[in-house]
Amino acid sequence: MADFETPEVKEYLDIPALKRGVMGNSKPFVSKEQFQEPLGFPGELVDNWQQVAVDKLGELLKTNRGLQVFMDSCVKCGACTDKCHYFLGTSDPRNMPVARQDLLRGVYRRYYTLPGKLFPKLVGAMDLTEDLLDQWYSYYHQCSECRRCSVYCPYGIDTAEVTMAARDIMNAVGKGQKYSNEIIGKVFKIGNNLGLPQPALEDTLEGLEEEVKEDTGADVRYPLDEEGAEVLLVTPSADFFAEPHVDGLIGYGKVFHQAGISWTLSSHASEAANFGLFIGSMENMKRIAMRIREAALDLGVKRIVFGECGHAWRVAYSFLNTLAGPFDFLDPRYPVPQHICEVTYDLIQRGALTFDKSANDHRRVTFHDSCNVARASRMGDMPGGQFIIPREIIKAVCNHYYDMPPDTIGEATFCCGGGGGLLTDDLMELRVKGALPRMQALKQVVEENGVTHLAAICAICKSQFSKVLPYYGFQMDQIVSVHQLVSDAIVLGQKQ
């Protein structure tokens, strides 16, 4: 399939013998002028890039107090070293979170600390050379900003923030990543990551209505741009386009239908994902988030609900109000925003949905906690709700549910290997290798419990697993949407 070796899945996850620099050549395609300019970044590496980079770092240290603390507080204890899926999968010691952070920390010390200015060699301070910039480009695109290492850091250093800062600096000097930046440009121009214009969305959704009618006989609607609907559903555009994502979208529609909740999608805000987060750009994150506010106001909705998208839920749950608030025009009886899993869970709790669990009897299911949901947000009103609610939904619609080992789920969950703006074919080696810890945990429940399917609530996780499962001897369709399981079991029609 490609010119690299898929790591061997062993009985236990070994800490690999180090192979220095083995991933030094892994680099995503560099963005071009046409993808840089819509985001407000220089089209190519600027002449005085060194100065611009150092100044940008200085600006970020002032505006992001966390970054300043993360630069100063690492004591090199080593707790993070074996926690990163990319380190475990690639054996490259530069992918130990501390070592990757030090690529930026060394520059910080050189230009912003007195010892680093006077005695750089004694304190690990480094000049920002072209070679170092290349290493930044390589290794800051080998972090999926999943924050697993941060869970284990005694000082709470947030590696994702360090990666985001480095990417923000690289964009400021004109060395951006094509994958993320082209996508953000499409959101500005068309409204979603895929670039699906309104007529294509309409055509796709009409097709889904016909399909559900044929399958179930029910007139389930997938409305677009309907003014006066109660709920605006904002979902990743992969839900319109790809499998297994679309089966989740079909499920959301069935839930709304059965609950009698009027809802609509928006062609203006036809994307839940916010890649502004991945590139650490507050300005771009805000511009993307504003589209959701604009759509909600234009359509006169009372609630905003997010579909199955991991980092979208982080941006929505943690930052939406700051980026695009206040949302005082929405119904205050509901959380702003709400996750589709919260909607479905609440309906299940109230006995408003009926399920035929036997419809999923051909599946034995496990759940993959997506990193941004697990470690950066919550669902419902109880601690750990983001872990409990998706599992309770699955258990309500499936007879056979099994968790993967505890040190690989919940807040200790392993990234799918494709998060944080790395879900691109030019990083396939990294993606396959980074999936190793999750594949190892999956293999365990497959062997011990006969698990057949891995369910997830993130578009990136779903696409990543479809792609990498076959490398590890599994089938691409063993990954399913949580609402696909709901969709298959929900009983439509008059409640008995």
Partner 1 sequence: MPLEVNGKTYETDEEGYLANLNDWNEDLAKAMAEADGTTLDENHWEVINFLREYYEEYQIAPAVRVLTKAIGKKLGPDKGNSKYLYELFPYGPAKQACKYAGLPKPTGCV
- Nearer to partner 1 (CB atom), residue 80 or residue 428: 428
- Nearer to partner 1 (CB atom), residue 200 or residue 259: 200
- Nearer to partner 1 (CB atom), residue 234 or residue 330: 234
Residue from 89, 236, 420, 437 in contact with partner 1 (CB under 8 A): 236
The minimum distance between CB 27 and partner 1, in angstroms, equals 12
* DSSP one-letter code for 89: H
Strand partners, 480: 455
CA distance 438 to 371: 12
Q: Is-contact 318 367, C-beta < 8 A?
A: no
Binding mask 324-363 for partner 1 (x = CB under 8 A): ----------------------------------------
Q: Does 460 bind partner 1 (CB under 8 A)?
A: yes
The minimum distance between CB 336 and partner 1, in angstroms, equals 24
Binders of partner 1 among 251-290, rule CB under 8 A? 273
Taking the CA atoms of 14, 442, 379 and 265 in sequence, report the sign of the dihedral they define. positive
Q: Does 224 bind partner 1 (CB under 8 A)?
A: no
Residue from 309, 393, 422, 489 in contact with partner 1 (CB under 8 A): 309
Q: Does 238 bind partner 1 (CB under 8 A)?
A: yes
Stretch that binds partner 1, among 16-24, 97-105, 206-214, 388-396 (CB under 8 A): 206-214
The minimum distance between CB 31 and partner 1, in angstroms, equals 11
Both tokens of 402, joined, read 């099994």
CA distances from 401 to 297, 357, 360, 432, 490 (A): 41, 12, 11, 26, 17
Q: Which 3 state secondary structure label does DSSP give 232?
A: strand
CA distance 265 to 306: 11
CA distance 21 to 142: 12
* H/E segment holding residue 321: helix 320-324
SS3 content of the chain, % helix, strand, coil (to 5): 55, 5, 40
Residue from 21, 58, 207, 384 in contact with partner 1 (CB under 8 A): 207
CA distance 313 to 291: 16
- Nearer to partner 1 (CB atom), residue 150 or residue 370: 370
Residue from 4, 29, 334, 402 in contact with partner 1 (CB under 8 A): 29
The minimum distance between CB 29 and partner 1, in angstroms, equals 5
Half-sphere exposure in the Cβ direction for 242 (13 Å, CA)? 22
Q: E strands within 125-282?
A: 231-234, 263-264
The minimum distance between CB 392 and partner 1, in angstroms, equals 26
Stretch that binds partner 1, among 114-122, 239-247, 316-324, 487-495 (CB under 8 A): 239-247
* Cβ count near 323 (within 10 Å): 20
Strand partners, 401: 365
- The reply to whether omega before 120 is within 30° of 0 (cis) is no
Q: Is-contact 312 273, C-beta < 8 A?
A: yes
Number of residues binding to partner 1, judged by CB under 8 A: 38
- Nearer to partner 1 (CB atom), residue 181 or residue 444: 181
Q: Does 241 bind partner 1 (CB under 8 A)?
A: yes
- Nearer to partner 1 (CB atom), residue 199 or residue 332: 199
Residue from 67, 196, 365, 454 in contact with partner 1 (CB under 8 A): 196
Q: Does 403 bind partner 1 (CB under 8 A)?
A: no
Binding site for partner 1 (CB under 8 A): 29, 178-179, 182-183, 186, 192-197, 199-200, 203-204, 207-208, 211, 236-238, 240-243, 245-246, 273, 309, 423, 425-426, 459-460, 462-463, 476
